[in-house]
Structures are given as C-alpha cells and as structure tokens.
Amino acid sequence: MTNLTTASVLAFERKLDISDGALTQKKSGGGASPKIVGIREKAVRGTISNRLKAAITRDSAKMDAETQKPNLQIVDVATLDSGYDTLVCDWTCKLLPFDGAPSICTDEAYRARVMEVVQGYVSQQGLGELARRYATNIVNARWLWRNRMGAFRVDVTVRFTVDQEEITLPFEQAESLSLNQPLSESPELTVLAAEIERVLTNGERPQLLKVHAEALIGEQQEVYPSQELVLDSGDRKKKVLYQIDGATGQAGIHSQKIGNAIRTIDTWYSESPRFPISVEPYGSVTTLGKAFRQPSAKTDFYTLFDDWVVREIEPDIEQQHFVMAVLLRGGVFGESSKDKS
C-alpha cells in the first residue's frame, strides 16, 4: 500500500474487561457464615537486615551500634479469621466483540488497512488459539498469585449465560495444574474457550464471565491482596493493602493484576521459552527487570505491527498471535511526528 504511514493518534479498547477481585472467607464443610477478608494495621519493630556499607561491616562496634537501631514499621495485614480456613475470590470478565476497528484513529486509510489485517487474521487463523490460552489462565487460577502458591486445594467455577440458560463449568484442584505447560483438553475447558472465541469473533453483544475460586489455605493464615503504591516515601505506613470498599475494609485484588495473569500467554517471544510472559508491546517483565521483545531484534509489537500494516510484510503465525493479543489488550499505539524523526 503506497504512502501509508502509522496514524499519529491510534488507540484500541481492551476486549477483556476485568473487574477487581473481591476477597471473602468461609469454613470448609460449612458451619460458619461467609464474611469479608478485612485489613488491619500492625506495628512491628524489625531488625536491621539491609545490606550495609563496608565501613560499617568491617567495624564490630559500628556494626553493633547499627543493629541496636529500631526498625519501626506500620504495615497493613490481611488474614483469615479464627475458624475460617478457605479464601474465596470473585471477579467478572466482560468479553467484547473484536472486529479490528480502532477506538480512535486519525487516518481513515490507515484505519481501513488495520481492519483488513485483523479480519484477514481472523478468517485465516481464527481467535481459537488466543481464546484457549485465556481460558487456561482462568482455569488454573494463576490470577490468585501468591494466594495460590501456599494453597492445599483450589477449586474454580466459571458461570455465564447463553440464550437465557446459565452454564456452570467447575474446575477442581487448580493448584495441581501447570502454569508453564498447556493444559490437557477437557470438556469444560473446551466449552469455555469456545465461548470466549465466539464472543470475540462473532458476538453481537458482550458476554459476562463470573469467576469464583475457593482456596483452602488454613485457619488464620495470611492472605495477599494487592498492595497499593505509596508515592510519598515519608509516609508512616510502609505497606498499604488494597481495599475494594473503604467503608467495610474489604480486601481485594486489583483488576490490573488479574488482567496481567490472564494475558500471561506469550510463549512466542523465544524459540525455546522457559515460561510464558504477559502480553506487553516490549515483552516487559518488571519483576525480572527485562524486556524480552527488543526492537533491536525486531520482535517488539511496534516493529511487527508496522511491518504487517504499513509495509505489508506478514509476520510468522506465532508473531501474528502476539500482535492480535496486544490489540485485544488495548492501548495507545500512535506515532507522532516527533517519534518518526
């Protein structure tokens, strides 16, 4: 296509719209009414355990003086109550139809080309591969993060309605499922993946998935909600946990954190990936301090997308999956005149 350049303003809306996760607690086997997981403050006097300067560590007197300094902290904490041994998390995912149309695009010719590329991919490859991977991460409870790691058992249930009929899909012992290997096909997983693909591809209206998980972690054990970012380093509280409802103090997991887990499907960043990473334009994994999709290697989203849309160089199938997953993730992808120079 001649004289086509990337639109200066270009944005896509996310097509998997995920809610916060609300945390409650119950007793396995019944016998106690379910209630919210609350957040409370705890004041602790910690020890000095950070790496110290060499001048201090070489001098025993200075070292003793340093360790005598109190490390006072006020932190938020969340635990199950006495008599409660099961953490419950509920959240929803709204699926929206995906036709490739940008939500904002300042160039009509570019918009038409993007839609042509997306619809060509859908007709040739379909969204089945992406839908299966999203469904897998719903089923394996990756989105419970640290709460999943120490659980004795995790059961997940997904509910949605089709033609006024509620469909319930149970997935037991999610804690035993691998987070790095594809799940073996099951009737329930197939149904969930097919519904995700159907709505994204041909849906005339949104679909709401209701996700419910019960994790047996043990009485009075600590729970790990999302942690809030404290911008003021001088704040007296060093750890602030997320509350869905400030009035009740109910603990929760950020929608962004759940979304990050659901889109941890990118195994196309390497020919021999050791683990999947979350779908990000540069393959960024902040906990590792690494970008797995470097522009210098031409594996980042912008290089692949521009090659495909502007230069009509079709990426390999695996990279096509990645590009479409980024568009489903949503974001602002325009290129200003300053970026082009």
Cα(335)–Cα(226) distance, integer angstroms: 33
* Domains of the chain, residue spans: 10-37+82-335
- Is the pLDDT confidence value at 192 over 80? yes
Output the DSSP codes for 86-130: EEEEEEEEEE----S--SEES-HHHHHHHHHHHHHHHHHT-SHHH
Half-sphere exposure of residue 227: CA atoms within 13 angstroms, side-chain side: 13
Residue, of 184 and 239, whose pLDDT is higher: 239
pLDDT value at 246 more than 90 = no
Residue type for 120, please? Answer: G
Residue type, 276: P
Q: Cα–Cα distance between 225 and 23 in angstroms, integer?
A: 8
Question: The tokens 């972690």 sit on which residue?
Answer: 217
Residue 221 neighbours by CB distance under 10 Å = 15
Antiparallel, parallel or unpaired: β 331-332 and 10-12:
antiparallel
Phi, psi of 46 (to 5 degrees): -90, 175
d(CA 25, CA 31): 12
Q: Which of 3-17, 38-52, 208-222, 282-296 has the lowest mean pLDDT?
A: 38-52
Residue 245 tokens, joined: 């409802």
Query: Mean of the pLDDT values across residues 323-341?
Result: 84
pLDDT of residue 30: 84
Query: How crowded is the C-beta side of 166, counted as CA atoms within 13 Å?
Result: 5
For residues 69 and 47, what is the distance between their CA atoms, to the nearest angstrom?
A: 8
CA proximity to 325, closest of 107, 112, 132, 104: 132
- CA dist., res. 79 & res. 307, Å (int): 50
Please provide residue 28's backbone torsions phi and psi, each rounded to the nearest 5 degrees: -60, 135
In terms of pTM, does the model score above 0.85? yes
Q: Could you tell me if 67 and 45 are in contact, meaning their C-beta atoms sit under 8 angstroms apart?
A: no
Is residue 195 a contact partner of residue 128, using CB atoms and an 8 Å limit?
Answer: no
Average pLDDT, the chain: 93
**Which pLDDT belongs to residue 340?**
58
d(CA 86, CA 289): 34
Q: Rounded to a whole number, what is the distance in angstroms from the first to the last CA of the chain?
A: 22
277: which strand partners?
266
Residue 26 has which token pair?
Answer: 């119950």
Residue 240 near residue 76, CB atoms below 8 Å: yes
Q: What percent of the chain has pLDDT over 70?
A: 96
Mean pLDDT within 287-309? 97
**C-alpha span between 127 and 135 (Å, rounded):** 12
Could you tell me the two tokens for 209?
A: 């998935």
pLDDT tens digits, 28-84: 988 889 999 999 999 888 788 888 899 888 989 988 888 888 777 889 999 999 999
Half-sphere exposure of 76 (CA within 13 A, CB side): 22
